[in-house]
């Protein structure tokens, strides 16, 4: 495992980019958990604790953005995408304001918090809102790239992050552009497209398949919306088989986004690895990863189904 979770990388990146860019950070009384307290210590005059009032935080962020400010609004994914959905939709996305929603503790792999806090529908909710950009970084370096891209972007952005330590995928800050994916490994027989915690699992599964003679490409589709249609079409034609992998409901997330493209093109067969339209459970990360098959074994099973 790497040293940092994506939420810890988020806090550090805010503090670092606060020296380069002029922006404000709002948090809904979870600064220690979301790690925005790192920014707070560096820039106390640009940080506001809005209390346990997520809807108010989003509308306040919208008001600041309407005055020309760049604003981060941070809380758990369940509270951001769930509790404050209406405010995000009508106050931020509808007027197309530059508010960056930093949502931590997403998916079931946050561990023992249980189903009430394990947000498995946030990608679906956010990507169906017009004007919204959705980014799911996989490790420390990709968080830095995503945060800077969001700062430089014009319009609302939802950045989805986890809770526990993230395995290192990128040794250096990757090239990141809104609407583009990264090819981590080329291949000709199969494509695995993944986001977040499932990116390192995809790389490990690809290594196993290579030993069996299956040339496997791995794509990091961190920008789920707008998604890199050309890259998906290219690898659909090239390999004819695609597996998507994500810590999210198989309905509405990365799997659905890729399926929509594949269905129109008719160029590949596809399987989705993710939460099979059920709520999460309380347990350790390792236990949940095995239970929901969000791992190498789950990806290999999907390949056998193909």
| Residues noted as catalytic | 54
The rounded Cα 95 to chain-centroid distance in angstroms is 23
The widest CA-to-CA distance across the chain, in whole angstroms, is 57
The percent helix, strand, coil of the chain (3-state, each to 5) is 40, 20, 35
User: Which letter, b or e, does each residue of 40-77 get, where b requires 16 or more Cβ atoms within 10 Å of its Cβ?
Assistant: beebeebbbbbeebbbebbbbbbebbeeebbbbbbbbb
Rounded Cα distance, 233 and 175, in Å: 21
Q: Report the side by side order of strands in the sheet with 157-160.
A: 47-49, 23-27, 70-76, 99-104, 157-160, 133-135, 223-225
Question: Hey, what are 286's tokens?
Answer: 């390792």
């Amino acid at each position: 495992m790497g040293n940092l979770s994506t939420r810890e990388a988020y806090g550090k990146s805010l503090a670092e980019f606060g020296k380069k860019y002029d922006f404000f950070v709002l948090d809904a009384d979870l600064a220690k958990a979301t790690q925005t307290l790192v920014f707070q210590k560096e820039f106390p005059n640009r940080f506001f604790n809005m209390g346990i009032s997520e809807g108010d935080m989003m509308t306040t962020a919208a008001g600041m953005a309407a005055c020309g400010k760049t604003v981060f609004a941070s809380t758990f994914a369940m509270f951001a995408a769930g509790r404050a959905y209406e405010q995000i939709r009508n106050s931020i996305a509808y007027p197309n304001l530059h508010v960056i929603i930093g949502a931590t503790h997403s998916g079931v792999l946050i561990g023992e918090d249980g189903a009430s806090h394990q947000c498995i529908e946030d990608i679906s909710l956010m990507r169906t809102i017009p004007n919204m950009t959705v980014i799911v970084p996989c490790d420390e370096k990709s968080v830095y790239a995503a945060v800077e891209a969001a700062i430089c972007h014009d319009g609302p952005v939802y950045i989805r992050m986890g809770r526990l330590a993230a395995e290192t995928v990128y040794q250096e800050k990757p090239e990141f552009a809104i609407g583009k994916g990264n090819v981590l490994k080329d291949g000709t027989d199969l494509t695995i497209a993944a986001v977040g915690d499932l990116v390192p699992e995809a790389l490990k599964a690809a290594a196993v398949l290579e030993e069996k003679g299956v040339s496997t490409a791995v794509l990091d589709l961190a920008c789920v919306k707008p998604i890199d249609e050309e890259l998906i079409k290219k690898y659909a034609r090239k390999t004819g088989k695609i597996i998507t992998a994500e810590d999210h409901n198989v309905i509405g997330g990365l799997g659905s986004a890729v399926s929509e493209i594949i269905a129109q093109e008719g160029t590949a067969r596809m399987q989705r690895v993710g939460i099979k339209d059920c709520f999460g459970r309380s347990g350790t990360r390792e236990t949940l990863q095995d239970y929901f098959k969000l791992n190498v074994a789950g990806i290999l099973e999907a390949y056998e189904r193909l």
